[in-house]
Amino acid sequence: MNEQLQPLKKPTKTGKTRTGTQDDIVYAHIFDAILEQRLAPGTKLSEEALGEIFGVSRTIIRRALSRLAHEGVVLLRPNRGAVVASPSVEEARQIFFARSLVEKAITELAVQHASDAQLAELRQMVTDERDCFDRGDRGAGIRLSGEFHLRLAEAAKNAPLVSFQRSLVSQTSLIIAQYESGNRSHCSYDEHNELIDAIAARDSDKAVRLMMHHMDHIDSKLNLEEDSASGDLHAVFSHLGLAKKKPRTAR
């Protein structure tokens, strides 16, 4: 009577077998679902529904949602529940700016501090990433691409930057899933490999240059110029210019 449908294993395909607390497991499941776009931006995340799905109480769900909100992939409106975040173009720009800043610093630090073991692990991740795209699993590919940057941050050995990077990568993945233009060739694993080479050679200038180019590359793949179809109805129909102003002149 106490047994769950399934004792809630973590879904990550990356070999993370760490069987964390329920909290972490639910968090990871929702997180992955969002980043793999199985949960579209704007989707409402009902506490009760999620609790039933995962076989846990709302307390757990609530905490997981709180963590996700902290990372910016979930929007938590008071008394109105949680929805999958849908970054606006302006927010996307801000995130990219911050991320470029952080990636530059991380690259410089990684050149100084990355161990050979960490570099080997990064290479393995690039391989996994390529496999995903070859297999056609675009969602997992995007997620692994993000995890690559997160691991690189860990190699930089600066805890606050890692934490910030985690948030930025999550949101970036969301943006990519939301704004990426048609061609799916954003798969940048070769750029990742070049980057590892430069870091392994301890060539700071080259590594930074590659990273910046990589960022520009990702950015250029998105169509952030005009608002693509968003959930904002007002924005969608604003060009019609037939907004019904409330007839009451003063109140």
Partner DNA sequence: TATACAAGAATTGCAAACAATAAATCGGTG
Partner DNA sequence: CACCGATTTATTGTTTGCAATTCTTGTATA
Question: Given the rule CB under 8 A, which residues bind a second copy?
Answer: 21, 63, 66-67, 70, 72, 78, 91, 94-95, 97-98, 101-102, 105, 157-161, 163-164, 167-168, 171
User: Any contact of residue 21 with DNA (CB under 7 A)?
Assistant: yes
Indicate the residue among 13 and 58 with the shorter CB distance to DNA.
58
Q: Which of a second copy, DNA, none is residue 180 near (CB under 5 to 8 Å by kind)?
A: none
Indicate the residue among 98 and 200 with the shorter CB distance to a second copy.
98
Indicate the residue among 83 and 105 with the shorter CB distance to a second copy.
105
Q: Which of DNA, a second copy, none is residue 193 near (CB under 5 to 8 Å by kind)?
A: none
User: Any contact of residue 84 with DNA (CB under 7 A)?
Assistant: no
CB 25 to DNA: min, Å:
9
Q: Which of a second copy, DNA, none is residue 145 near (CB under 5 to 8 Å by kind)?
A: none
Outline where the chain has alpha helix (H): 22-35, 47-54, 58-71, 89-113, 116-135, 138-155, 159-179, 189-200, 204-220, 233-236
Count, residues near DNA per rule CB under 7 A: 24
Q: Which of DNA, a second copy, none is residue 98 near (CB under 5 to 8 Å by kind)?
A: a second copy
In sequence order, the β-bridge partners of residue 83 are 44, 75
Give the rounded distance of the alpha carbon of 37 from its chain centre: 10
* 166/191 Cα distance (integer angstroms): 20
What is the largest distance, in Å, between two alpha-carbon atoms of the chain? Answer: 70
Q: How far is residue 125 from each of residues 65, 106, 174, 192, 214, measured CA to CA in Å? A: 28, 18, 20, 10, 17
Outline where 114-184 has alpha helix (H): 116-135, 138-155, 159-179
Residue 23 is encoded by which pair of tokens? 């909290």
Indicate the residue among 82 and 176 with the shorter CB distance to DNA.
82
- Binding residues for DNA, rule: CB under 7 A, are 21-23, 44-49, 56-60, 62, 78-82, 244, 246-248
